[in-house]
Structure 1
Amino acid sequence: MFVCQPLRREHRTDTFSCGKEELDAWLRRSALHARANNTAATFVWCEEGSTEVVAYYSFTSMTLEREELPRSLARGGMHKMPAVLLARLALDTRHQGRGLGPVLLVDAFERALTGNEVFAVRFFVVDALDEEAYTFYEKHGFRGIPGSMRLYRKMSDIAKTLA
């Protein structure tokens, strides 16, 4: 069983490897600094009783320009619409292939919905690192923004899905 908690100094990140060096390096070198500067909040999964990180995700805030979105979503909206950006989501290779990726994503959804009760945002956004990630997010209800690797879901749709 995994426990999700905010990343702290005592968490062991040195053995974490998701197969994407960019994601591994960010966790080790930048995640704590980003939290200290309030530019990103990282949450980690550890096995109960352990501090070794086996998965993580990070959030930051952003805005979407009305012009980026399909007309049906942007109609009547502000020029800049508030969103939460799932900046990173990674699972250690030792746990890949066991169906945990979608569980990690749902954990991120639930945490974002909790935050949305205080700081309202309209969209949940991801910038896919590569085609594999893009396909993963599409499979989980995200829609792509043409001409980019950015995908989105409405927070209200996520809330309905998890209800």
Structure 2
Amino acid sequence: MTQPAVPPNRVLSLARPGWLLFQALLRAPLPPPDALRRFLATPPWAGPDGPQPLRAGTDPDGFTCGVPVLDKAHAKACAKGATEENGHIRRPYRVVQDGRPLGFYGLGTGIVQAADVGRGGGPAIPVVWLNQLAVARSGQGQGLGARLLRHAIAEAATLGAGQGALAMLVLAIDHEVRGFYLAHGFRPVPKVIHDRVILLRFHDVAGCTGN
């Protein structure tokens, strides 16, 4: 399972109809999806065998997932580690087994805003982007993508709480990727908002975990 890059600077600007609908979707009094309840019933991957924060200067160790842009993203995350630049936070995580990297993901803070910011669109809404999620070829087909995602949700919720973020966003590259996230409780958004973005509201996460 792989995940593509997010919009430049992790800023999603919406025309007025999409902006109003996005705000309404975040506020809608909907219960958490059943798929999310089932998914989060299992605790996040923890302990020394689980995903660990990537530190700057980490060796990429030949990681390859079959998607060159994500292999490059992994190498860049290994080189830079966690960063905070111009108010944007990036936090990469990687899981290693027997000395070889099996998968990684990256989180980044961002905003959703009205395209016509100067015309009363209202304040921007902080969000957390799932920048990338990828499993090495050697680990594919073993459920590692789901385990990484569960860990990413927990870390995103913690990061988002410190930023006042309301949701986690994913930019799905194709129907397979989109189906993966929807199957684990993410919500689709109308095309007037974006034709590839899907989201996970943090209060849905709290409703499933009690946190």
Q: Deviations over 1:5-39 (max 9, x none)?
A: 21124533232111211111111135534744645
The two structures have a TM-score, normalised by structure 1, of 0.79
Q: Distance in 1 between matches of 2:196 and 2:141?
A: 24
CA contact (8 A) 1:12 1:53 kept: no
Which residue is 1:157 aligned to? Answer: 204
Structure 1 residues not aligned, in runs of 5+:
68-76
Q: Distance in 1 between matches of 2:169 and 2:137?
A: 24
1:59 to 107, 120, 136: 107
CA contact (8 A) 2:105 2:133 kept: yes
How far is 1:140 from its partner? 1.3
Greater RCO (Cα-Cα under 8 Å, separation 6 or more) = 2
**Matched position secondary structure for 2:162:** coil
CA contact (8 A) 1:23 1:88 kept: yes
Q: Deviations over 1:119-155 (max 9, x none)?
A: 2210110111222211111111112331421111101
Aligned residues: 152
**Matched position secondary structure for 2:145:** helix
2:146 to 75, 83, 102: 102
Alignment partner of 1:42 is 2:92: yes
Q: Distance in 1 between matches of 2:77 and 2:51?
A: 19
Q: Deviations over 1:26-81 (max 9, x none)?
A: 1113553474464522111112x73x3211111111112369xxxxxxxxx95421
Please provide the CA RMSD for this pair: 2.6
Q: Distance in 1 between matches of 2:49 and 2:91?
A: 19
Structure 2 residues not aligned, in runs of 5+:
1-47, 116-120
Q: Distance in 2 between matches of 1:9 and 1:34?
A: 4
Q: Which amino acid aligns with 1:150?
A: V
**Matched position secondary structure for 2:149:** helix
**Matched position secondary structure for 2:51:** strand
Percent identity between matched residues is 26
CA contact (8 A) 1:66 1:81 kept: no
Following TM superposition, the consecutive aligned residue runs of length 4 or more in structure 1 with deviations greater than 6 angstroms are none
The two structures have a TM-score, normalised by structure 2, of 0.63
Tell which structure's C-alpha radius of gyration is larger.
Answer: 2
Q: Distance in 2 between matches of 1:159 and 1:78?
A: 26
Which residue is 1:29 aligned to? Answer: 76
Alignment partner of 1:84 is 2:128: yes
